[in-house]
Amino acid sequence: MKRKRAFNLILFFLILFCSILPPLFPQTYADTDIISVEKTSQVIKKLQEMDLDLLMEWKGRIYIVLHHERDDPSKLEQSQIAYRVETSNFYPFNQKDISIQSGVNGDYHTYQELERDLVALEENYPHLVRLHDIGKSLEGRNIYALKISDNVSLDENEAEVLFIGCHHAREWISVEVPYLLGKYLVENYGSNPRVRDLVDHSQIWIVPLLNPDGLEYSVYFYRYWRKNRRYNGPGSYGVDINRNYDYMWGFDNEGSSPDTFSEVYRGPAPFSEPETQAIHDLFLQRKFQALISYHNYSQVILYPWGYTTEPSPKDALLSEMARNMSQLIRSESGRIYEFGAAGSQLYLTNGDTTDWALGIYDTPAFTIELPPIDELQGGFFNAEEDISTIFQENLPAALYLIEWSIQNYASEIPSPEKEADHKEKTTQTRTFKN
Ligand SMILES: [Zn+2]
């Protein structure tokens, strides 16, 4: 009962707070609370049946967004799950931690800001950069890919490597890291022999913002938005585009969901979404040696499989590469990124980018979950001051992946056609979404 009163009190202040905020932070937060529950195997089991919007795990607790229009907190009480209301620990209360001096989202890019900066990059470095439009979002925004190479307008016989950002709208830092990688490569090409060597001997593709509609929605309307903006029918929006790829798509309802309201809704069919279709089409035209897909919070490097806890045929190689990247990050900043196969390290996922890239194209593919900042207080969303640190610590790992791709280019050319030979099923228990 006490808890309920505290809950209502917080809700009251939340509404009050939202009503005095500038209009760009609308009242939608009033429909939402952040709660945390202790992470035990019993709780996990009960949560599996509830299809809640899981934010993260932190210090032995699981953080969940409660959407009041569809999640009833009394369900948790009925299941005897004790929860703590954490809303006040999170943005928008902690304005100072996610300061907004340079626009609604601070130094983070909106779609338009990114578009402007990508165009500028091409204008300033025309001999190294081509800006490609590889698809259109549902709301008509361009999905941009930067190609960086010497002789950039030619298709050369060189290794190709891909970096993708922002499958998930609320993971703003995942736009910045690949964008800054592109900027770094071209700005240092003239002065840094290693960068020059990498750029000269590879074709680097960067898609910093795969989910532009989702990002805009997250910036202007609802900070916690995750999916794209597909209209699924009354009251339901969004497909989780990192569950929409066609390898083990819909393998089970644990690694993705058939429920349109779910945060991990996989869409009506594989590649039903223009965002995943853009990556699909890019793969048809290029031959990628390796890729990194950036996400955030967890501070971990993941590789396939995600759909099962069984090791992939490339497990030893992927593990070695992930270990190397983890060590490079650690020697840069001291921060430890754990690494492992996604399905056994974090939680099951099916239809994600990396399983598809490995399963269909045999391409070593990694998900890097970028860090949260050290403290929960306002730190769930990285402050703009942390963008540069997080980029800097990830830079050596990205350069390593390019270098690895160059070194392994001649020895192995992936074969684009091997679709149907993976259909065996295994059963698994474990759930979580990110
Ligand atoms: Zn993500």
Q: What is the pLDDT of residues 95-121, one digit of tens each?
A: 334 444 445 678 899 999 999 999 999
Least confident segment among 141-145, 233-237, 304-308, 403-407:
233-237
pLDDT confidence of residue 306: 97
| Rounded Cα gap, residues 379 and 373, in angstroms | 5
Where is average pLDDT lowest: 59-63, 194-198, 340-344?
A: 59-63
- Of residues 13 and 387, more confidently modeled: 387
Percent helix, strand, coil in the chain, to 5, is: 40, 20, 45
Please give the pLDDT value at position 64.
83
Distance of CA 346 to the CA centre of its chain: 14
Residue 429's pLDDT band, with cuts at 50, 70 and 90, is: very low
- Cα(149) to ligand 1 centroid in Å equals 28
Is 427's pLDDT higher than 80? no
Query: pLDDT for 171-195, tens place per residue?
Result: 999 999 999 999 999 999 999 999 9
Range name among 154-163, 282-291, 383-392, 393-402 with the lowest pLDDT average: 383-392
Distance between Cα 310 and ligand 1 center (Å):
22
Lowest-confidence pick of 72-81, 154-163, 286-295: 72-81
SS3 226: coil
406 CA → ligand 1 middle, Å = 28
Q: How far is CA 368 from CA 145, 285, 339, 357, in A?
A: 19, 25, 9, 15
- The sign of the dihedral angle between the CA atoms of 225, 227, 229, 233 is negative
Higher pLDDT, 429 or 413: 413
- Mean of the pLDDT values across residues 40-69? 77
From the options 2.40.10, 3.30.70, 3.40.1350, 3.30.43, give the CATH code of 2-93.
3.30.70
Give me the helix-helix angle, 274-285 and 353-361, nearest 10°.
30
The residue with greater pLDDT, 374 or 79, is 79
Residue 12 C-alpha to ligand 1 middle, in angstroms? 31
Which residue from 89, 108, 216, 204 is spatially nearest to 152, judged by alpha carbons? 204
User: What was the pLDDT predicted at 434?
Assistant: 40
Q: How many CA atoms lie within 13 A of 233 on its CB side?
A: 5
Residue 11: what pLDDT? 46
Structural domain spans, the chain: 2-93, 111-407
Q: How far is the CA of 261 from the centre of ligand 1 (A)?
A: 17
Q: How many CA atoms lie within 13 A of 141 on its CB side?
A: 22
Ligand 1 centre from 6 Cα, in Å? 31
Find, among 139, 84, 105, the residue nearest to 223 by Cα: 105
Q: Read off the pTM.
A: 0.77
The pLDDT > 70 percentage for the chain reads 80
Mean pLDDT of 400-404: 98
Would you say 87 and 14 are in contact if contact means Cβ atoms under 8 Å apart?
A: yes
Quote the tokens at residue 57. Answer: 């795990």
Q: Which residue has the higher pLDDT, 424 or 156?
A: 156
Model pLDDT, residue 88: 64
Interstrand relation of 365-370 and 300-303 (parallel, antiparallel or unpaired) = antiparallel
Cα of 154 from ligand 1 centre, angstroms: 33
Q: Does residue 298 register a pLDDT over 60?
A: yes
Q: What pLDDT shows up at residue 227?
A: 95
Q: What pLDDT score does 57 carry?
A: 62
Q: Say how many Å lie between the CA of residue 390 and the centre of ligand 1.
A: 16
Q: Which residues contact 299 (CB under 8 A, 6 or more apart)?
A: 335, 336, 337, 338, 369, 370, 371, 372
- Any idea which architecture 111-407 has in CATH? 3-Layer(aba) Sandwich (3.40)
- Segment 219-244 shows an average pLDDT of 88
Q: Length of the chain in residues, anyone?
A: 434
- Average pLDDT in the 76-81 region? 86
- Known catalytic residues? 369
How confident is the model at residue 74, as a pLDDT? Answer: 81
- Rounded to the nearest angstrom, the distance between the alpha carbon of 2 and the centre of ligand 1 is 35
CA of 170 to the centre of ligand 1 (A): 8
